[in-house]
Structure 1
C-alpha cells in the first residue's frame, strides 16, 4: 500500500470516521484489508485498533475486530494492548467492548502496567469498576512495585480510593521496591482528602520509612503541602524532627526544595530548631539552602534565626556550600550579609572552590547586582 493510503487509514481511525475507513478498505480490496489487519505504524508500533481505542471510537473498534479481523490482543512496541489504550483514556464503551470480545483484563504492557493501573491514572470510577467487575486483580504490581492503589493515591480521587478499599480491603498493604507506601505517595502529591481516608481506614504506622528513610511527613513538607503535614501530625502522630538515612530532617529538606511556607510552619508553629544539624556531617538548613542556590530561602532562614556563621564538621560555612554549588547570587548574598570568605578545616576558602566565571566574579564584586 502507498504511504498516502496508510496515512488515511490512521486518520480515519483516530478521528472515528468509520464510513470513510470502510469505503477505503472496500476500494482497496483484500490487500487493503490485510494491511489494515496487520500493519504496525511508526516508532510506537501502534495499529489501527490502538488508535481507535485510544480515541474512544467504539464503532471503529468493533469494525476492526469483527469485520477486518484484528486481534483484540494485538500489542505495540511497548506491549500495550488496545485495552490499555482505552483504559488509560477512560473510554468505558471501548473498555467494555474489548473485554466482551475476550481481551485479557490483566494483560501487561512494558514495565508490567495492567489496564487497571492505567485506568487509575484517571479520575473515572466507572472504567475502574468495569475492569474490576471483569475480575481485574488490584494486587498486581508493576516493575517498580506499585499496584493500582499507589496510582490512585497519587491521582488523589477519594471516590476511587474508597472503592478500591471496598472491593479489596487489604490493597493498601503494599510497598514499592523502594519501600514507599501509598501514604508516601499521597503525601508527596498533596492529596489531602485521600490522606484523610488512608489515615482513618488503613493501618500505616506513624513515620513509616522508605529505603531512604523518608517519612510521609517529610514528603509533605518538602513539597510544600502544609495542610497534609498538619493532618499527619494531628491524626497520625508523625514526628516533625525524624531523620532520613543521611541524617537530614524536615527543616533541612524544606531548605533543599525552597519551600518557605513549610519552613515557617516548622519553625513558627512547631518550634523546630532552625539550627539543628543533619546527623551525617552536621549541615544546617542554611548550608543546604546555600548549596541549592535558594537566595530567598537563605534570607528567610536568617530572618527566623539561622546562624549565619555555622560550620559543618569539615569547617565549611554556607559560603563554601554556595560556591560548591556554583551559585553566584547565593555567594553574593552571603558576602553582602557579612559572611567572610574564611578557610574550612582543610585550609580551603570558598573562593578557591569557585569554578564558573560568574561565581569567581561574585567574590570579586560582591556588590554587583547586574
Structure 2
C-alpha cells in the first residue's frame, strides 16, 4: 500500500472504530512524527485526534495520546481542538478523558467559540455540567457577542437554561454586539418553554430593543410564534398595570416601531401570518406607513390576510 493510500485509510479506520486494523496500519508507517503525530488530513485539516474525538472512539483516542504521544491541543484549520469535537458531538467519555489529561477547557475555535458553547448546541446537559465542573467560564462571548446562554436559548432545552441560571444567576444579563438578548433569540426560534423560564427567572424589559429597534415580541410575530407573542404580551400587560386599564399600555406596546418605522403588523403581514395579524388587529393596532410609505396591508398577499383588513374596516 502506498503512503498516499495509507494516509486515506487511517482516518477511515478511526471513523469506523476499527482499532485493531488501525494499530496494524500504524506499524507500517515509516515516519510517525510527520505522517501521524503532526499530520492534518483533508480540507478541514483535522488530525487523527479530531477524528477519534468526533466519532467517540475512546480507546483509539487513548492510544493516540498515550502510545503515539499526540498533543491533545492540536487544532485544525478552524482552530478546533479535539475537546471541541467531543463537546459538540456529546461524547462524554472522550470529553472527560481529554479534560483529565489537561485539555484547556476554554480553548477557542474560529469565531471564538468555546467547547461549552459547542455543547450547548447539542442540548447535552451532562456534557455541559462536566465542562462547568472542570472550570469552564459560562460568561465568555464569541465574536458576535453571544455567550453560551444565548446558544442554549436558541436550542430550546429548558433544563439546560435552568441549570445555567443555577450555576451563574446573572448569565441572562447579556447582549450580543447588536444588542440582542437571549429573550430575543428564544422568541425568534419558537422556544416557548425557554421563554417561560426567562420571563419567570430573569428581569428582562418587555420592550428591550436590539440595534434595529426590534423587540422580542416583534421577533415572535415575525417568526409566526403566536403562543410566544401572546405570552410576551401578557407579561407586558402584567408588568405595566395588572388591571384592564393596561389596554393603554397594550396600545403603546403594539405600536412599537423599528428603525424603518415598521410595526409588528408590518412583520406579521410580510411573513403572511394570518393568525398573528388577526391578534394584532383585534387588539387595536392601526395600520400605518413605514419609512418608505408602505402600509402593512400592502404586504399581505394571501386572501385570508386581506379579508382580515376588510373585516376590520367593515366593523369600524
TM-score normalised by length of structure 1: 0.77
Deviation at 1:264, TM superposition (A): 2.1
Alignment-derived partner of residue 60 in structure 2: 60
Regions of 4+ moved over 4 Å? none
The yes-or-no answer on 1:172 pairing with 2:172 is yes
Deviations 1:233-280 (A, max 9, x none): 112337222111111001101111222222122224x2323xx11342
Which gives a bigger RCO, structure 1 or 2 (Cα 8 Å, sep 6+)?
Answer: 2
- In 2, are the aligned partners of 1:25 and 1:33 still within 8 Å (CA)? no
The within-5 A match list for 1:1-370 is 2-28=3-29, 30-32=30-32, 34-237=34-237, 239-268=253-282, 270-273=283-286, 276-289=287-300, 295-296=301-302, 299-305=303-309
- In 2, are the aligned partners of 1:138 and 1:171 still within 8 Å (CA)? yes
Q: Counterparts of 1:19 and 1:38 in 2: how far apart (Å)? A: 22
Alignment-derived partner of residue 323 in structure 1: none
Q: Counterparts of 1:304 and 1:102 in 2: how far apart (Å)? A: 62
Aligned-partner SS, 2:254: coil
- In 2, are the aligned partners of 1:140 and 1:148 still within 8 Å (CA)? yes
Alignment-derived partner of residue 333 in structure 1: none
Aligned-partner SS, 1:13: helix
Q: Counterparts of 2:296 and 2:84 in 1: how far apart (Å)? A: 45
Deviation at 1:34, TM superposition (A): 4.4
User: Which ranges in structure 2 are unaligned for 5 or more consecutive residues?
Assistant: 238-249, 312-316
Deviation at 1:172, TM superposition (A): 0.5
**Could you tell which deviates more after superposition, 69-78 or 279-288?**
279-288
**Could you tell which deviates more after superposition, 277-286 or 244-253?**
277-286
Q: Which has the larger radius of gyration?
A: 1
**Could you tell which deviates more after superposition, 235-244 or 197-206?**
235-244
**Could you tell which deviates more after superposition, 156-165 or 255-264?**
255-264
Deviation at 1:15, TM superposition (A): 1.5
Q: Counterparts of 1:136 and 1:82 in 2: how far apart (Å)? A: 16
Q: Counterparts of 2:310 and 2:95 in 1: how far apart (Å)? A: 57
- In 2, are the aligned partners of 1:83 and 1:103 still within 8 Å (CA)? yes
Deviation at 1:110, TM superposition (A): 0.3
